[in-house]
């Protein structure tokens, strides 16, 4: 029996859908991809079979990419910096503010697409130490569970700038008050599928006062896409949150200066940008802290090419200043 054009089109759509589902069940880590990256004479980085994603499928990996990008939209609240600031050729927040232990801590978002919350809360924690000499680790769980549709979809993804505006209006408590719900993270091969977004329960687990445990951002803003503006912001105020497009090869990053080499687009990811530098070969790069634990990349950190808007990273930088605690007590 000969199918009608409509029936043929429907059959083809079903086939493509099934093929996509089957394709997403394959392992995210591919030895052939590692070989393609490492044998490419133009590659500036090295790939490896990162233990963090052992037994993870493409579908599992995509669930961690929770940054909802706003590429193409006109940005508001954009902060730029005067060009008179003399910036160093290299800069690392970990060395600039050695008293801030949060700058040397790599976290694990576990099985949840909460990178957007981690990037915001980690950066704000760092800035409280930098500007007020207050060592505090703020709760990603508070932002993730309580921001709701204002930020996005919880473990299903969120918008970095919206997260910062939530920090302005509502603040977040400390991790002592409200630890991250997925406390075990992904410490073993074959992590479980995506967890549902935790319920917003405004009560400290250590019996401390919820309102007293709150820390706020004073403002929220985009940064200009000119690398100078991002560098000046980090140099002056501390780490910022950035989001970028992720492809299959990024899961395999081990060392060097990442740039796209091979693989399909999988989603958007948010991380913390802490500095910059240049290799001996003259390749400019950004220094970033990921939230996939220390078993990935350079002990949890990675470099990505700077000055070329690699994977859109320079188009999606956001930040905010910490609000003084005395001011809040008077409100």
Active site residues: 115, 269, 290
Query: d(Cα 124, Cα 328) in Å, to the nearest integer?
Result: 16
Interatomic CA distance for residues 54 and 59, integer angstroms: 13
Q: How far apart are CA 178 and CA 204, in angstroms?
A: 6
Distance, CA of 274 to CA of 106 (rounded, Å): 12
What's the DSSP call for residue 53? G
Helix (H, G, I), strand (E, B) or coil at 88: coil
> CB burial class (10 A; 0-12, 13-18, 19+) of residue 134?
middle
Strand segments, DSSP code E, in the chain are: 45-47, 78-79, 91-92, 221-223, 240-247, 253-258, 265-278, 284-289, 301-305, 317-319
Do residues 115 and 63 lie in contact, with contact meaning Cβ atoms separated by under 8 Å? no
**DSSP code of 216?**
-
By C-alpha distance, which of 184, 174, 176 is closest to 206? 176
Q: Which residues contact 16 (CB under 8 A, 6 or more apart)?
A: none
Cβ pair 132, 100 in contact under 8 A = no
The Cα–Cα gap between 293 and 300 comes to 5
Nearest to 102 by CA among 257, 291, 236: 291
């Amino acid at each position: 029996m000969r199918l009608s054009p409509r029936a043929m089109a429907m059959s083809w759509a079903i086939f493509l859908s099934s093929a996509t589902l089957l394709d997403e069940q394959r392992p995210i880590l591919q030895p052939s991809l590692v070989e393609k990256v490492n044998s490419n004479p133009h590659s500036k980085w090295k790939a490896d079979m990162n233990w963090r994603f052992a037994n993870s499928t493409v579908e599992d990996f995509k669930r961690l990419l929770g940054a909802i990008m706003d590429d193409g939209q006109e940005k508001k609240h954009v902060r730029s910096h005067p060009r008179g600031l003399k910036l160093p050729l290299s800069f690392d927040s970990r060395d600039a503010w050695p008293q801030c232990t949060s700058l040397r801590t790599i976290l694990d978002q576990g099985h949840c697409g909460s990178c957007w919350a981690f990037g915001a809360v980690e950066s704000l924690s760092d800035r409280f130490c930098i500007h007020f000499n207050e060592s505090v680790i703020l709760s990603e769980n508070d932002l993730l569970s309580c921001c709701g549709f204002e930020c996005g979809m919880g473990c299903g993804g969120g918008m970095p700038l919206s997260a910062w505006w939530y920090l302005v209006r509502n603040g977040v408590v400390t991790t002592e008050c409200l630890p991250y719900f997925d406390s075990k993270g992904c410490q073993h091969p074959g992590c479980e599928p995506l967890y549902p977004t935790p319920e917003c329960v405004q009560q400290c687990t250590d019996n401390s006062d919820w309102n007293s445990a709150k820390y706020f951002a004073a403002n929220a803003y985009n940064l200009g896409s000119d690398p100078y503006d991002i560098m000046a912001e980090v140099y002056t105020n501390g780490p910022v949150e950035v989001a970028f497009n992720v492809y299959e090869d990024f899961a395999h990053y081990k060392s060097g200066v990442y740039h796209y080499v091979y693989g399909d687009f999988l989603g958007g990811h948010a991380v913390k940008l802490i500095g910059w530098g240049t290799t001996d070969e003259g390749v400019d790069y950004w220094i970033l802290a990921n939230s996939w634990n220390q078993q990935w990349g350079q002990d949890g950190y990675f470099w990505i090419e700077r000055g070329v808007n690699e994977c859109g990273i320079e188009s999606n930088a956001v930040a905010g200043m910490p609000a003084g605690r005395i001011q809040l007590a008077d409100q």
